[in-house]
């Protein structure tokens, strides 16, 4: 359904051939925007663009490459006559390798795509937005940029960098009419997470248990918040890093947030809840193997 605050806008979404980026591109298109779907994988970007309608465009570029970014933004602005909305979504995992075993090459490439990429594309697009009276930029952060996640050093540092860049650019570009915000998703069902699960580096049962809402997100749930931040509905929001994580980063209890090991057994028999609390009213300790001690 067209959204009057997005209808007729021109959007550029990086890394839009798959996952969250594709869900964002599709939702912006459904709400009336014309979308450039960027990706390193041109065939996949073309297929993604074609699947959401004839008005949209695929452009290949590596967001970490300044020349390719310049060419992409020139082409997008020439074909569409400007860019009103930028979503810096392109990203990669870092392999979830223990830091002592992580290579400098993977560390640097992870930062190059997330941090340099967000910097380069934002800079190129903002110059044009400023000439056209402003616009809206939404970056993809992560819970990994908000709380410490072991064995995700490169990814976490990169996403913390994206969160801080969001705040800095929001302050610097407010006078240009450009709002800059970010979403910080928790675990989302995309191929990035599927690969970590397939490689045995992520346990979906533990993610469910650690998340107050008790499940992973679907890409569309991230896309809806991005569309809100991109739209005029969020006209007084800038510099915000909005958690879209099912409560993951808010949770600080010394037990699981949901599921089998949670002390909050809403709806279960009262004696069951009672029996899971110690005499002091505190949850019983959980053994390191995940079983109750
Ligand atoms: N999936 C999650 O749980 C999750 C959680 C928090 C944040 N994020 C972030 O959301 C964004 C999208 O993640 P996803 O899970 O949809 O991943 P994905 O792997 O499904 O899609 C990422 C897309 O980015 C493209 N890409 C990679 N490097 C690129 C580059 N240098 N230039 C241009 N395109 C490039 C890929 O080809 C791919 O199409 C990333 O920034 C990721 O860090 C994901």
124-159 residue pLDDT tens: 999 999 999 999 999 999 999 999 999 999 999 999
Return the bridge partners of 88, or none.
139
- Ligand 1 atom showing the smallest separation from residue 216 Cα: 3
Q: Is the CB of 145 under 6 A from ligand 1?
A: no
What residues of the chain score a pLDDT lower than 50? 269-293
HSE, CB side, 13 Å, CA atoms: give it for residue 247: 14
C-alpha of residue 114 to centroid of ligand 1, in Å: 9
For residues 65 and 42, give the distance between their C-alpha atoms in angstroms, rounded to a whole number: 15
Q: Is 155 tagged catalytic?
A: yes
Are the C-beta atoms of residues 241 and 141 closer than 8 Å to each other? yes
The pLDDT of residue 268 is 58
Given strand 85-88, what is the order of strands in its sheet?
A: 57-60, 34-39, 10-13, 85-88, 135-140, 178-185, 241-244
- Ligand 1 atom showing the smallest separation from residue 155 Cα: 43
The pLDDT of residue 267 is 61
Q: Is the CB of 243 under 6 A from ligand 1?
A: no
Cα-to-chain-centroid distance, residue 37: 16
For residues 50 and 218, give the distance between their C-alpha atoms in angstroms, rounded to a whole number: 22
Residues forming CATH 3.40.50.720 domain(s) in the chain: 10-244
C-alpha of residue 19 to centroid of ligand 1, in Å: 7
Beta-carbon contacts of 137 under 8 Å, excluding residues fewer than 6 positions away, are 85, 86, 87, 88, 122, 125, 126, 169, 178, 179, 180, 181
Class of domain 10-244: alpha beta
The pLDDT of residue 273 is 43
Indicate the pTM of the whole model.
0.91
Cα-to-chain-centroid distance, residue 135: 19
Are the C-beta atoms of residues 162 and 114 closer than 8 Å to each other? yes
Q: Is the CB of 84 under 6 A from ligand 1?
A: no
C-alpha of residue 12 to centroid of ligand 1, in Å: 15
Q: Kindly report the protein residue whose alpha carbon is nearest to atom 41 of ligand 1.
A: 91
Cα-to-chain-centroid distance, residue 50: 23
């Amino acid at each position: 359904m067209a959204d009057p605050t997005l209808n007729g806008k021109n959007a550029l979404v990086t890394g839009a051939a798959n996952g969250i980026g594709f869900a964002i591109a599709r939702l912006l298109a459904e709400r009336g925007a014309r979308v450039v779907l960027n990706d390193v994988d041109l065939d996949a970007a073309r297929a993604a663009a074609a699947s959401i309608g004839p008005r949209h465009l695929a452009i290949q570029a590596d967001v970490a490459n300044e020349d390719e970014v310049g060419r992409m933004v020139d082409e997008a602005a020439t074909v569409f006559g400007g860019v009103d909305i930028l979503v810096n979504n392109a990203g990669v995992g870092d392999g979830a390798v223990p830091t002592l075993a992580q290579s400098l090459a993977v560390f640097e490439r992870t930062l190059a795509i997330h941090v340099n990429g967000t910097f380069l594309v934002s800079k190129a697009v903002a110059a044009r937005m400023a000439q056209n009276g402003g616009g809206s930029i939404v970056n993809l952060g992560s819970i990994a940029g908000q709380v410490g996640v072991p064995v995700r050093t490169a990814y976490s540092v990169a996403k913390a960098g994206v969160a801080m860049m969001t705040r800095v650019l929001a302050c610097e570009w407010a006078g240009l009419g450009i709002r800059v915000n970010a979403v910080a998703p928790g675990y989302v069902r995309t191929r990035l997470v599927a690969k970590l699960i397939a490689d045995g580096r992520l346990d979906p049962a533990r993610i469910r248990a650690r998340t107050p809402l008790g499940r992973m997100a679907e890409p569309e749930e991230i896309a809806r918040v991005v569309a809100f931040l991109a739209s005029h509905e969020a006209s007084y929001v800038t510099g915000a890093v909005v958690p879209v994580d099912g409560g993951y980063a808010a949770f600080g209890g010394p037990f699981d947030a949901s599921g089998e090991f949670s002390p909050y057994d809403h709806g279960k028999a009262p004696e069951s809840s009672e029996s899971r609390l110690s005499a002091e009213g505190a949850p019983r300790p959980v053994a390191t193997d995940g079983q109750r001690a």
